Amino acid sequence: MENVDKRKVIKIVCEWENSGRRLGARSLIAKPNFHSSLKISDDMIAIQMNKVRVEYNKPIYIGFTVLELSKWKMYNFHYDYMKPKYKENINLNYMDTDSFIYDIKTDDLYDDIRDDINYHFDTSAYPKQNMFNFPLLNKKVLGMMKDECNGKIMKEFIGLRPKMYSFKIDEDGGETKKIKGVKHCVTAKLTVGDFRKCLFQKELYYDSIKPNATKTYKNPKFDEIMRSDSLKTLNRQRCDQRNCDFILEVNGEFIYAHKVVLAANSTLFKEMFCFSEDDKENMPIKNDFVDAGALKTIVDYVYNGEIKITEGACQSLLVTANYLQMDWVEQQCKQHLKSSIEGFAGELNAACVFGEKLADHSFRYILRHFPQLIEAEGFLKLPIEKVEAILTDDGLYVRNEENAFKSVFNWINYDPEARKPYLGKLVKHVDSRFLKPKFLRNYARTEPLLNTELLSSLSNRKRKFGWWPNDMKALNRYGIPYVLFAGGSRHDLQEPQQDCRVFYISKYSHLPLNECTESLPVSPMKERRTGLTTILLENNVYAVGGCVNEYECLSTAERYDPIINQWTPVACMVIGHSFHGACVYNDHAYVIGGRINPVVETYDPIRDEWSRCEKTPSPYWHHGNCAAVSGTSIYSFGKSKDGPMNIRLDPREGHWYTIDNAIDVVGVEVTSYDHSLYFSGGYSSEGEGKRECKRFDPRSGWEVLSEMNHGRYGHSALIIQGRMYVFGGYNNGFVSTVEYYDFQKNKWTIDNSIKINHCQGGAAFIHHPN
């Protein structure tokens, strides 16, 4: 079958610039999916583009089905038609995928099949006035058999092996030879006699046919010796300014080089030389778009294979490598900048040197990665005009308004004497309606600039807690709401997954979002996990523990950052946990118990450290446990070998207390909402999923709520927009429906906008940059 992944996108262009709606070579080369180019002639070039979309419209199962149906058709023709018709008077001498060679003893074969032509045969290739008076029927009808000789008598047939045979026609002496995989010019020299000698005399004719052949022999040391010696020689000539056929003038400095070396390493130079109309040597080409020092460093690299990247020169090297389309150098510069992400903010100040294109790229990078840059030196050095432009841009992603607030004071405190007059101006660009009072009180204790007057003006604005963004600017500023699904069991409850998927909140389908689809690409986790838990800390998702089989629990954990769409391993837990409870309390993650496990651990994201807490009174049993926070306590629910074990931990005291153990909640999912805990689903003694839903109020106890539409266990539950959503689960098969619970109406409703097979995995509600 055709493999659509191997198809290439080739554009043939004859002009450098655009012509009407037809893109020229310059535009195609500048596209991010540009791959390579090949010069065909002086005014024509072939450009290969990477595919941005692959449509799998050639399913392999169709080819498989067609092949099986053709086999069935062949067997049916032979055993249900020919054999019953001629019985012992027919012998099958040779067959192929779609053909038979029969030896039939009969008075008149053509008269025998006359009545069956309409059902079994294609006679369209017979002469119109044929001696058999056959009608010309079934032209190119699938499944019909065709006389390859079209009524002529086959005098001799010799078949040596599959796809290798020859036969001779009696009337005109014509010969037909078929050898799969051999060129026609070679087959044409053979005769039926050659086939006959091979069959009966076992003769092999090695020298009878001598096709032209070319074989390449490579010296294994050529690359090592010639590349090194040749480039060393050319580099010495370059340094001595001898035999150089290209001179580049950059900001008054002259850089000597060889066209062939530059073209071999830079796509831009390659295309420049292809389309250059001036072939005069030693004529300086002026270019003031790049930094002279960076260009010298890169030219040195193409001759000696090494490049030195310093902190001060990294930005100029990055933009120069990008301009020259030298992917490897660009990648090394980006890797170098990873340890100093403020470099991207620093690039914004370099627009006058490196061009507006880089400035625009840096500005958009700051808008998207703003929460990571508010303490970076590159951002703190920006002038007031650019800081104000960032804070007022409709595309700014702050994640939460506290980050915008912190950025203002961080920038002011970098040079307080000079910048203090701008405080009132910048604070106006922070929407204080979404600043929590607790955050303001804590921040005022350590920030002298946040005086009583300013704090009072911020506090007087009407609060909007619980408000949900419903316009484009708000979604850009706070992110698009998604549900992230991580790991779990996809096809077999024993098969762990590392894939991640998202569920897009359909309320915003009317907005022109950049990535507003359920198929938003999410990178997979580093490890396969089922029976894991996911928790949310500062809009980063942590996938904790899980298992790869029934006996091996994972102690590893990893963090997902939606801004960069990447999972990063974090510190390992003290011991492995699976089917455990996990929650967040006071900016720390807590992992409680799990399957046959009483250990409790807490994680500090700032220090990236795990530490132990007091164990649960007993280990939880095979179905593990669930956990959630309500008020100032952590609650854990499950079943031990002695029965239900529902307990409460006060982290301030560090001790576990037993609560109501009369309620059995096995395999349930728990969520916290408005000082209460809500339980959905569960595992029944018959092995089926429950439809039950309960509420636990620490002040008043248990309450039974209306049942879900579908029973399930191993599912995920989240609070979204003031509703409790349940996703996936298992109940004698995967439950793909999603439903939500209305707290005011005490009613479950199925959400038909999504169906997902999700079981024993993790889920988290996040905001992804638009």
Render pLDDT for 91-119 as a digit per residue (tens, 0 to 9): 998 888 888 888 899 998 888 888 888 88
Which amino acid, one-letter code, is at 541? V
Residue type at 582 in one-letter notation: A
Average per-residue pLDDT in the chain?
82
* Closest of 38, 51, 41, 45 to residue 5, by C-alpha: 51
Q: Do residues 165 and 140 lie in contact, with contact meaning Cβ atoms separated by under 8 Å?
A: no
Above 80 in pLDDT, residue 520? no
> According to the per-residue pLDDT averaged within each range, which of 233-237, 340-344, 389-393 is highest?
389-393
Reply yes or no on whether the pLDDT at 506 is more than 70. no
Q: Tell me, what's the pLDDT at 225? A: 52
Most confident of 335-339, 404-408, 660-664: 404-408
β-strand partners of 739 = 726, 750
CA 746 to chain centre: 39
Tokens (6 digits) for 722: 């003031």
pLDDT digits (tens, 9 = 90+) for 711-721: 999 999 999 87
Tell me the pLDDT band of 609, cut-offs 50, 70 and 90: very high
Q: What is the DSSP string of 557-571?
A: EEEEETTTTEEEE-P
The CATH number, out of the four listed (2.60.120.10, 2.160.20.60, 2.120.10.80, 2.60.34.10), of the domain defined by the range 474-768: 2.120.10.80
Hey, what are 634's tokens? 């952590």
Q: Which helix (H) or strand (E) holds 160?
A: strand 154-161
Long-range contacts (CB closer than 8 Å, 24 or more residues apart) made by 447-455:
447/409, 449/409, 449/412, 449/413, 449/416, 449/420, 449/423, 450/409, 454/423, 454/424, 454/427
Which range among 260-274, 281-295, 637-651, 749-763 shows the weakest confidence by mean pLDDT?
A: 281-295
Residues with Cβ within 8 Å of 82's Cβ and at least 6 positions away in sequence, in order, are 90, 100, 102
DSSP secondary structure of 34-101:
EEEEEEEETTEEEEEE--S-----S-HHHHHHHHHHHHHHHHHHIIIIIHHHHGGGEEEEEE-SS-EE
Question: Residue 277: is its pLDDT beyond 60?
Answer: no
- Poorest-pLDDT segment among 15-24, 81-90, 557-566, 669-678: 15-24
Q: Take residue 704 and report the two structure tokens written for it.
A: 């039974």
- Coil/strand/helix, residue 718: strand
**536-to-110, 438, 504, 629, 694 alpha-carbon distances in Å:** 80, 20, 18, 13, 24
Q: Where are the domains of the chain?
A: 4-49, 88-200, 226-459, 474-768
588: β partners: 585
311: confidence class by pLDDT, cuts 50, 70, 90: low
Q: Return the C-alpha torsion angle 702, 704, 705, 710, nearest 10.
A: 120
Question: What are the φ and ψ backbone dihedral angles of 719, each rounded to 5 degrees?
Answer: -95, 120
Interacting residues of 579 by C-beta distance below 8 A, sequence separation 6+: 531, 547, 594, 595, 623, 624, 625, 760
Q: What is the mean pLDDT of residues 592-598?
A: 92
Phi, psi of 290 (to 5 degrees): -120, 165
- 157: helix, strand or coil: strand
Token pair in block for residue 319: 């933009």
- Looking from the CA of 435 toward its CB, the CA atoms found within 13 Å total 24
Tell me which of 255-264, 283-292, 706-715 is least confident.
283-292
Residue 627: pLDDT band by 50, 70, 90 thresholds? very high
Q: Is the pLDDT of residue 637 over 90?
A: yes
CATH of 226-459, one of 1.10.1660.10, 3.30.710.10, 3.30.450.40, 3.40.50.2300: 3.30.710.10
* pLDDT classification of 353: cutoffs 50, 70, 90: very low
Which stretch, 347-351, 362-366, 561-565, has highest mean pLDDT?
A: 561-565
Grade residue 463 by pLDDT with cuts at 50, 70 and 90. Answer: very low
Which H or E run includes 766? strand 762-768
DSSP SS3 for 535? strand
* Distance separating alpha carbons of residues 257 and 7, to the nearest angstrom: 37
Spatial separation of the C-alpha atoms in residues 678 and 694, rounded to whole Å = 6
